Each structure stands twice: as structure tokens, then as C-alpha cells.
């Protein structure tokens, strides 16, 4: 058989049909992060940022949740939904930043600074969440740190998000962990400056995982969910996107009159891109790969996520925004 664009299109369509059949049979819901491939976003029941997706999982009455994202996200969904089957279609889809710290290293850090509260970014393993006082996301990190009584705060694992929080909450002393996102950290100031000079009317919006020098050039700094809201509400017609390129799918679809530019070709998360329609079919057919967190870890990790939701005035099962 000769493969052409047409045969590829037919193949993708047959996979989508099969997914629709399997979803009905399995009583499944497909939850998809904003960085996923376009064709995976196309079959989503819900798309959103990491935390919004976990909370969306709580509201569903589906029996099976197929989580198209990375493992810490599926873990969070499972922690908040211990009675549901949560599947990650590709078991190797892990966030390298989340793997830059573990529970043992965090305990050692805590012993060094006994007066400090521990805040952990949701991009972390369940066992790191279990050792933390409170969780946070890129959209609520400033609010979470501000809410703490402690003057000192250990912030793990993303040093760029920690530095950004420090700039917004100067009254606290933030002790950073040397973790980073290998995709966002590659974006250079020069690339942003060049793209700005090519599109002088464009607003530059950046994710707080970018370097501080890049963030200084930003018109707006926010989570992936925040970017959709900002673009929709803005009078500007052009935007430079300082985060993973999967965002372009929905940004273009939801804002047909607006133009979007990537400052570099390197803003790709290889882990997110592992998930394909073929793996989603496999996941639904075989009911793999189930993500289950042992209850002793899950119960402590759940507390840290629930404390975060209390600070932001939400409950894990409450109505959500940002999806
Ligand atoms: P959001 O929570 O903003 O979607 O970010 C998740 C992430 O992994 C960013 O790299
Ligand atoms: Fe992790 Fe970076 Fe990928 Fe987000 S973009 S999942 S932080 S590696």
C-alpha cells in the first residue's frame, strides 16, 4: 500500500470512529491537556490546564477516565477520584521536571529549614505532594504563597515559577529547588526580542516556567488556561506565545480573527507528544495503563491539593472554570 496524505487522513478518521465506539462501550471520558497533539485535542470531551482537568474528572459520572497528558496529571486525577479508573495511554509520558525531586530529597530540605512551609507545584509526583504542606498551580502559586503564615517558604520543584512568585510576594523568603522545565527553559530572550521586532503590535504572553529574562519581556504572565482568557478578552490582534506549541490549536480555533506566532520551533514537550490516537485506542481496548496511588500516599497528597483548593475558594468537586 502506498501511503499518501489521503490514506493518512482515512486512517486517522478510522481511529476516531473506533475511539467513539470504545468510549460508549467503556463508559469513558477523554480528558486532554492543552499541549496535546491537534488530533488528540479534536477527540477530547474536555480540554484544559493541569488542575482544571483533575477537577473535571471529579465531576464526571464516567466509569473510565482516559487522561491524555503526563503522569503527574493522571496521578492528581486519581488522587482526587480514588474510586474511578484513570488511564494514561502511554506509560512513559512523564514530566521531567516532576522527576527532578523526590520525597527523600524534600524531607532533607525540610529538616534544613524547619520553620519553612513547603509549597509544591502540581508538576510533582504524588509522594512529593504527600510531603508538602500545600500544592499550587501556575495560576494560583502567588495566591497560595501569600496565604501562608510562615515567612519562609520552600518552593519545589520549578525554580522559575518560584522566582516569579518571589517577585510578586517580596515579603516572603522563598527557598528554591533547582528544578526546571526542559522545554520552557530553552526559550531565549533574543528569540523573543527578534519575534517582537518582526511583529511590533503583538502582545507577548508567557508561562511562568520560562526564564526570568524572558518573563521580563512579557505583557502578561499566566497559566495555559489564563492565556485563553487573556487572548479572548484582548483588543490586540496578534500574540507571541511563550509556551508549548500545542496551545495554537485552540487559540486559532477560538479566535479566528487573531494571529499567533511562536518565538522558536523548540517549544515542544516531547512527553506530551507521545500520546497519539493509536495509543488512545489501545488504552480503551486494553484498559491500560491504570494510574493508582497507594492510599497512604494518596491521602496525604490529597490533603495538600485540598488545602490549595480551599485557599482559592474551590472544592475538588465544585464547578470549575478554565476548561
Ligand atoms: P498548566 O497547568 O498551565 O496547563 O501547565 C502545565 C505544564 O506542564 C506547563 O508546562
Ligand atoms: Fe513538564 Fe515542561 Fe512538559 Fe510541562 S511542558 S509537562 S513542565 S516537561
Q: What is the pLDDT of residues 300-320, one digit of tens each?
A: 999 999 999 889 887 644 332
pLDDT of residue 138 exceeding 70, the answer is yes
Round to whole Å and give the CA distance between 147 and 117.
11
In this structure, the answer to whether residues 146 and 213 fall within a common structural domain is: no
**Residue of 95, 225, 241, 270 to mutate, ligand 2, most atoms within 8 A of C-beta:** 95
Contact between 28 and 74 (Cβ < 8 Å): no
Contact between 72 and 158 (Cβ < 8 Å): no
Ligand 1 neighbourhood includes 211 CB (under 6 angstroms): no
**Residue of 31, 33, 36, 100 to mutate, ligand 1, most atoms within 8 A of C-beta:** 33
Range of the domain at 22: 5-93+273-292
pTM for the full predicted model: 0.94
In this structure, the answer to whether residues 88 and 12 fall within a common structural domain is: yes
pLDDT of residue 117 exceeding 70, the answer is yes
In this structure, the answer to whether residues 124 and 171 fall within a common structural domain is: yes
In this structure, the answer to whether residues 264 and 233 fall within a common structural domain is: yes
| Per-residue pLDDT, 302 | 95
Ligand 1 neighbourhood includes 49 CB (under 6 angstroms): yes
Number of domains into which the chain is organized:
3
Ligand 1 neighbourhood includes 47 CB (under 6 angstroms): no
| Per-residue pLDDT, 320 | 29
pLDDT confidence band for 50 (50 / 70 / 90): confident
Start-to-end C-alpha separation, the chain: 41
Amino acid at each position: 500500500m502506498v501511503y499518501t496524505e489521503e490514506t493518512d487522513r482515512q486512517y486517522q478518521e478510522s481511529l476516531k470512529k473506533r475511539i467513539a465506539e470504545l468510549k460508549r462501550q467503556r463508559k469513558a471520558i477523554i480528558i486532554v491537556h492543552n499541549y496535546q497533539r491537534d488530533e488528540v485535542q479534536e477527540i477530547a470531551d474536555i480540554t484544559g490546564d493541569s488542575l482544571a482537568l483533575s477537577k473535571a474528572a471529579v465531576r464526571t459520572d464516567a466509569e473510565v477516565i482516559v487522561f491524555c497528558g503526563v503522569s503527574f496529571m493522571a496521578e492528581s486525577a486519581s488522587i482526587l477520584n480514588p474510586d474511578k479508573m484513570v488511564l494514561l495511554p502511554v506509560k512513559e509520558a512523564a514530566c521531567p521536571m516532576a522527576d527532578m525531586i523526590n520525597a527523600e530529597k524534600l524531607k532533607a530540605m525540610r529538616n534544613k529549614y524547619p520553620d519553612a512551609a513547603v509549597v509544591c507545584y502540581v508538576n510533582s509526583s504524588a509522594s512529593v505532594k504527600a510531603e508538602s504542606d500545600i500544592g499550587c498551580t501556575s495560576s494560583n502559586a502567588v495566591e497560595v504563597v501569600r496565604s501562608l503564615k510562615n515567612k519562609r517558604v520552600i518552593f519545589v520543584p520549578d525554580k522559575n515559577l518560584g522566582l516569579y512568585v518571589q517577585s510578586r510576594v517580596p515579603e516572603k523568603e522563598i527557598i528554591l529547588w533547582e528544578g526546571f522545565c526542559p522545554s520552557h527553559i530553552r526559550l531565549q530572550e533574543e528569540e523573543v526580542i527578534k519575534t517582537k521586532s518582526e511583529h511590533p503590535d503583538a502582545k507577548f504572553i508567557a508561562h511562568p516556567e520560562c526564564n526570568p529574562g524572558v518573563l521580563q519581556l512579557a505583557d502578561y504572565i499566566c497559566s495555559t488556561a489564563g492565556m485563553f482568557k487573556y487572548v479572548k478578552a484582548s483588543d490586540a490582534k496578534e500574540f507571541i506565545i511563550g509556551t508549548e506549541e500545542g496551545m495554537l490549536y485552540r487559540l486559532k480555533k477560538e479566535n479566528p480573527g487573531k494571529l499567533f506566532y511562536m518565538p522558536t520551533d523548540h517549544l515542544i514537550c516531547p512527553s506530551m507528544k507521545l500520546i497519539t490516537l493509536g495509543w488512545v485506542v489501545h488504552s480503551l481496548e486494553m484498559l491500560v495503563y491504570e494510574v493508582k496511588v497507594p492510599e497512604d500516599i494518596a491521602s496525604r497528597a490529597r490533603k495538600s491539593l485540598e488545602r490549595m483548593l480551599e485557599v482559592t475558594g474551590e472544592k475538588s468537586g465544585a464547578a470549575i472554570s478554565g476548561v
